[in-house]
């Protein structure tokens, strides 16, 4: 993998680390490609039984690097790169666990909807800032979030875009378990290892059945969101917001998408 995405195997668990701590693990086009390759590799390898997704340096991910949204070839490259990661996650057959601490923003929040178990530290904050950036949510979150937390709560989170404390995310059902910060890595890896030793065929079959009813809906929503997202991204309103955001960095780094 690239220097900003790390991969290691730990007793059947492929630990995938987002490693750009200086930018709160904001994702670049190259990182999307590396993450997609890591997830695809996990699906192919017989010695991988589960995936653990984590962030380095006290944050899960502050989302997309805003610079990649500015109109131009870089933005188009981002869209293609991000799409490979979205497809890899939605195609993953093996269970995925997320270890969340600090900021989980934008795609760092929506990816949680595609994980089977989410462990969060008590300091974690989840945020869906898309509307504030002149965009619409992605990763089929406009479909899946309301299935998880209910329509009214999903509307609150997606439309208002306020930071969501770990306790609220847990109460609503987005997070499975909250633990102190110094225990979150150990607990998340423990859950992943417990999944890794389950009977393989039964585990994969059960996971597949759980997700079966939404597979086609998720694919259709990904495509629909992608069209709307790209249209909004190119708008003057959104481009002005991106430029304002970039001008006030690094103070706004926790509000990426």
Residue 98 has a pLDDT of 98
Phi first, then psi: give them for residue 26, nearest 5 degrees: -65, 140
pLDDT in tens, 63-100: 998 887 886 655 555 566 899 999 999 999 999 999 99
Other residues' Cβ atoms within 10 Å of the Cβ of residue 176: 18
**Global pTM value:** 0.94
Residue 1 has a pLDDT of 62
Burial 236-257 (b: 16+ CB within 10 A, else e): eebbebbeebeeeeeeebbbbb
Q: Could you give all domains of the chain from N- to C-terminal order, each with its CATH number?
A: 5-179+210-255 (3.90.226.10)
Question: pLDDT over 90 for what percent of the chain?
Answer: 86
pLDDT at residue 106 above 80? yes
Q: How confident is the model at residue 2 (pLDDT cuts 50, 70, 90)?
A: low
pLDDT in tens, 11-66: 999 999 999 999 999 999 999 999 999 999 999 999 999 999 999 999 999 999 88
pLDDT at residue 254 above 50? no
Q: Is the peptide bond before 250 cis (omega within 30 degrees of 0)?
A: yes
Q: How confident is the model at residue 171 (pLDDT cuts 50, 70, 90)?
A: very high
Distance CA 113, CA 194 (A): 20
Residue 62 has a pLDDT of 96
Cβ proximity of 128 and 104 under 8 Å: no
Residue 111 has a pLDDT of 98
Distance CA 171, CA 180 (A): 16
H or E stretch at 141: helix 141-149
Which class for 148: exposed (0-12), middle (13-18), buried (19 or more C-beta within 10 A)?
A: middle
């Amino acid at each position: 993998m690239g220097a900003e995405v790390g991969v290691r195997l730990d007793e059947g668990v492929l630990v995938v680390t987002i490693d750009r701590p200086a930018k709160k693990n904001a994702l670049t086009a190259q990182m999307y490609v590396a993450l997609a390759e890591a997830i695809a590799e996990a699906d192919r390898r017989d010695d991988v039984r589960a995936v653990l997704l984590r962030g380095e340096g006290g944050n899960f991910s502050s989302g997309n690097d805003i610079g990649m949204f500015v109109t131009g070839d870089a933005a188009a490259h981002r869209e293609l790169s991000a799409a490979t990661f979205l497809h890899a996650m939605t195609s993953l057959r093996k269970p995925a666990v997320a270890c969340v601490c600090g900021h989980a923003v934008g795609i760092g929040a929506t990816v949680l909807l595609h994980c089977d178990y989410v462990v969060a530290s008590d300091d974690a904050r989840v945020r869906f800032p898309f509307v504030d950036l002149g965009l619409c949510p992605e990763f089929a979150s406009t479909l899946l979030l309301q299935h998880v937390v209910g329509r009214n709560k999903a509307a609150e989170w997606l439309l208002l875009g306020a930071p969501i404390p770990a306790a609220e995310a847990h109460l609503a059902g987005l997070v499975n378990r909250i633990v102190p910060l110094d225990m979150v890595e150990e607990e998340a890896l423990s859950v992943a290892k417990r999944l890794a030793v389950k009977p393989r065929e039964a585990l994969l079959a059960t996971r597949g059945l759980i997700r079966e009813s939404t597979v086609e809906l998720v694919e259709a929503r990904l495509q629909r969101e992608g069209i709307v997202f790209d249209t909004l991204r190119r708008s003057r309103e959104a481009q002005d917001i991106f430029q304002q955001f970039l001008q006030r960095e690094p103070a706004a780094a926790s509000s990426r998408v």
